[in-house]
Amino acid sequence: MQKKNQLILALDVTNKAQALSISKEVAYFADAIKIGYPLVLGTGLGIIGQLTEFAPIIADFKVADIPNTDRLICSQAFEAGASAVIVHGFTGRDSLVECVRTAREYNREIFVVTEMSHPGALDFMQPVAGGLARMAVECRASGVVAPATRPESVKEIRRIVGNLTIISPGVGAQGGRASDAIRAGADYVIVGRSIYGSKTPGKEAEKIVNEIEKCR
Ligand code: O7M
């Protein structure tokens, strides 16, 4: 993934034609497209290969299992053409090490979820986010996911992860601002509904890119 516009499209639609037409319209502005269970369950794993025509694909499978199962899941995503897989860290070090090892085999990347962006993240995740971020560094993950809804948390996670990549969801529909997340230390913002839910997804993406450009 090449850092150009610092925008990742979260393509949480379930229909293939819609996924392809939105990707075509937004590809010029997005450095990557993140897909997850909604689109893969709706259309099949082959959608990853089809979308690689538009941008590098991040498979958001929030992998959270024993090392062997994690390896099988990551391998499937990489075989399908994903450039990166998003995994949970709370399952522990051995699971994360296996994900990173699998990614290395394919010369691909792993991103680890730290604190999530929704209010419920305060129940369990926020207190352990620093530990998850430290483990991501120690296990040599490529980067972490941190919440655009809480720029102060992004700042703290940046302090911990040094030069690891931070990708940050929660902009727009969840109330976060792209510029705040980038200023707090995020490398990329992840945006879904405000783009794919718009009648003019390309224009929405362009607006966000312009906002980010102003704070560089
Ligand atoms: O812009 P939205 O709110 O429509 O979409 C945000 C996307 O980011 C959506 O795909 C979520 O599943 C994802 N996400 C969060 O919103 N919050 C998180 O803490 C983590 C993720 C995510 O991408 O995890 C890897």
HEC string of 54-115 equals CCCEEEEEEECCCHHHHHHHHHHHHHCCCCEEEEECCCCHHHHHHHHHHHHHHCCEEEEECC
pLDDT score, position 216: 81
Residue with tokens 């502005």: 29
Ligand 1 geometric centre to CA of 53 (Å): 23
**H or E stretch at 42:** helix 37-43
Ligand 1 geometric centre to CA of 42 (Å): 18
Helix (H, G, I), strand (E, B) or coil at 175: coil
CB distance 36 to ligand 1 below 6 Å: yes
Q: How far apart are the first and last CA of the chain?
A: 19
CB distance 10 to ligand 1 below 6 Å: yes
Q: What is the pLDDT of residues 5-59, one digit of tens each?
A: 999 999 999 999 999 999 999 999 999 999 999 999 999 999 999 999 999 999 9
Q: Which atom of ligand 1 is nearest to the CA of 116?
A: 19
**What DSSP state is assigned to residue 199?**
S
The C-alpha atoms of residue 33 and residue 59 are separated, in whole angstroms, by 9
Half-sphere exposure of 45 (CA within 13 A, CB side): 11
Residue 55 phi/psi, 5-degree rounding, is -170, 165
The answer to whether 34 is a known catalytic residue is: no
Q: pLDDT by residue for the chain (216 residues), tens digit each?
A: 899 999 999 999 999 999 999 999 999 999 999 999 999 999 999 999 999 999 999 999 999 999 999 999 999 999 999 999 999 999 999 999 999 999 999 999 999 999 999 999 999 999 999 999 999 999 999 999 999 999 999 999 999 999 999 999 999 999 999 999 999 999 999 999 999 999 999 999 999 999 999 988
- Ligand 1, atom 15: nearest CA belongs to which residue? 169
Q: Which of 43, 11, 47, 41 has its CA nearest to residue 27? A: 11
- Ligand 1, atom 19: nearest CA belongs to which residue? 116
pLDDT score, position 19: 98
CA angle 201, 203, 199 (to 5 degrees): 40
Helix (H, G, I), strand (E, B) or coil at 193: helix
pLDDT score, position 1: 87
pTM, entire model: 0.98
Catalytic-labelled residue, pool 16, 62, 155, 207 = 62
